[in-house]
Amino acid sequence: MPKTSNFIIDAKFITPPDGVIVKNFCFDDEPQFKCKPRTKPLQHFVLHETAGRSAIGCKNTLLRKGYGVHLILSRNGTVSCHGDLANDIMTHANQLNKTSIGIEVVNPYAPKLSIGMRNIKTIPADWWTWCPDKIDRRYVLPSEAQLQTLLKIVPFLCQQLGIPYVFPTVGLNKKQRKIKGWMLPPRAKPGPGIVAHRDFASHSDGRFLLEYLISHSLSN
């Protein structure tokens, strides 16, 4: 088995689904982000958006700040793997760090952050879910390549890692925008499954991605 173009899970090289290109930190000059050994069972798959324009910029920012995320999904649909998905804890998800893996989808998501980018599409933003700007209520869509890759790798990795392919925060709405107790110590956690970063923290990212996965799971 070629060691490049694979995820790294429990010190093994795992071939991705057909059509998915993966670069990893062992053989493709990708950085391995700061991490600690995992001591608690995996329960969550956390969806992030970079608010930035490029995978390189995302990697440099995480390296500079000492944070980390297991996967980065570039605008062209390529995935980079920056740690062992099963064994490494990274700082990316507040109270879920110890029980989660995270993926950063390279997407500026606010029109003012995407100035100068090509082939950008926007939709009217639902302000409680994914609107990052109350003045310009538009949301910058991820690329079609990113969305198609996400549809392939999230269920695949959930199966590989034993994370339930369910959506514990599906019921959030305009009246309850985040999980109850998310801000108060010891900071509440959503149930096991796939969640958006914004569902349990003071961020705007990830909810469109979650809604996209939910809609496709219901149609299949």
Distance, in Å, from the CA atom of 161 to the CA atom of 165, rounded to the nearest integer, reads 11
3 has pLDDT over 70: no
pLDDT-derived band at 220 (thresholds 50, 70, 90) equals low
Tell me, which fold does domain 7-219 have in CATH?
Answer: Lysozyme-like (3.40.80)
Please state, as a whole number, how many other Cβ atoms lie within 10 Å of the Cβ of residue 21.
14
Average pLDDT over residues 18-22: 96
Average pLDDT over residues 213-218: 92
Where are the chain's structural domains? 7-219
Give tens-digit pLDDT for 108-123: 999 999 988 988 999 9
Average pLDDT over residues 161-188: 95
Among positive and negative, which fits the CA dihedral 6, 11, 12, 16? Answer: negative
Residue 139 contacts residue 130 (beta carbons within 8 Å) = yes
Enter the tokens of residue 44: 């969550």
Q: What kind and span of H or E run contains 167?
A: none
For the entire predicted model, the pTM comes to 0.96
Average pLDDT over residues 45-66: 96
